[in-house]
């Protein structure tokens, strides 16, 4: 079953995604980075952004390239 936005053509099978979607229409960004002042609508997006201000913590065991997130390292290894 799909859930639809009443303001645009966006649809999703995930009710939680539709709950956060209206932020794209309002422009509300209440989560601000305390390092660079960039603002985000979702707390999770701010948390992900904070990685740009950190040391690269994950290393590839094949080529020693370093990554800021485990997900980026895993993508690199599988490609």
Taking the model in full, what pTM does it have?
0.65
Report how many domains make up the chain: 1
Instruction: Assign residue 32 the CATH number of its domain.
Output: 3.30.160.60
Instruction: Tell me the β-bridge partners of 12.
Output: 3
Identify the domain containing residue 40 by its residue range.
3-78
Identify the pLDDT of residue 29: 95
Q: How do residues 9-60 score in pLDDT, each as one tens digit?
A: 999 999 888 988 998 999 999 999 999 999 999 999 999 899 888 888 899 9
Distance, CA of 66 to CA of 36 (rounded, Å): 23
46: Cβ–Cβ under 8 A, 6 or more apart, which residues?
31, 32, 33, 40
User: Which residue, among 66, 62, 65, has the nearest Cα to 51 in the 3D structure?
Assistant: 66
């Amino acid at each position: 079953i799909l859930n639809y936005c009443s303001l645009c053509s966006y649809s999703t099978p995930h009710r939680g995604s539709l709950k956060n979607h209206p932020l794209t229409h309002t422009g509300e960004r209440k989560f601000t980075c305390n390092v660079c002042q960039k603002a985000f609508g979702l707390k999770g997006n701010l948390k992900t952004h904070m990685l740009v201000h950190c040391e690269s913590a994950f290393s590839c065991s094949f080529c020693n390239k370093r990554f800021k997130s485990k997900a980026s390292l895993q993508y690199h290894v599988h490609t």
